[in-house]
Structure 1
Amino acid sequence: MTFGFKRFAITLMLFLALSFAFERQAHAYVDPGSGLLMFQGISAAVSGALFYFRRRIKNLFVRSQERPETGTRTPSSS
């Protein structure tokens, strides 16, 4: 088991070293709209997660109160 992990780690390190050794120059740029698009996507994902889990998040901060059941009556002595 550990031999397989060591072999995988060495292979991964060699692959990364070779990929940086034969790096080519990129003729490209990132415009300002790309950063805004990434920010919008991340904020939408966070907002969606908060909206989806809103009850669980609310229960973390609000103590639940015990409510008596409204449908049951206590027997009265007549």
Structure 2
Amino acid sequence: MTLKLRYFAVTCAIAFTLSVACEHRAYAYVDPGSGLLLLQSLSALFTGALFFCRKRLKSLITRSTVKETRSEANSE
């Protein structure tokens, strides 16, 4: 397992190094609104993840009350 992970890490490092070493000028224009689009996309991703995992997050924040379930069982 660690050997595969090591090969993957080395492959990613080589690919990144080659992409930086072989960089060419783009002569392109980047729209100023592109940063806001990226920010909006990241916030939507974060909000969607919170919405998807809301039950698990709620169970981490709130405590389960075992005493209430025992008192309900005794009253019936």
* Interval containing the TM-score (normalised by the shorter chain): 0.5 to 0.7
Structure 1 spans left out of the alignment, 5+ residues: 74-78
CA distance in 2, matches of 1:50, 1:14: 33
RMSD: 3.1
TM-score of the superposition, structure 2-length normalised? 0.62
Structure 2 spans left out of the alignment, 5+ residues: none
Q: Percent identity?
A: 40
Name the CA shift for 1:15/1:53 in 2 (closer, same or farther; >3 Å). closer
Match of 1:41 in 2: 41
CA distance in 1, matches of 2:16, 2:45: 33
Structure 1 runs (4+) deviating above 3 angstroms are 12-15
Name the CA shift for 1:19/1:40 in 2 (closer, same or farther; >3 Å). closer
* Greater gyration radius: 1
Match of 1:27 in 2: 27
Amino acid at match of 2:47: S
Matches within 5 A, 1:1-78: 5=7, 9=10, 13=14, 16-17=17-18, 20=21, 22-66=22-66, 67=69, 68-69=72-73, 73=76
String of CA shifts for 1:36-64, please: whole Å, max 9, x gaps: 11111110010001011111101111111
- Report the alpha carbon displacement of residue 29 of structure 1 after superposing the two structures with TM: 2.2
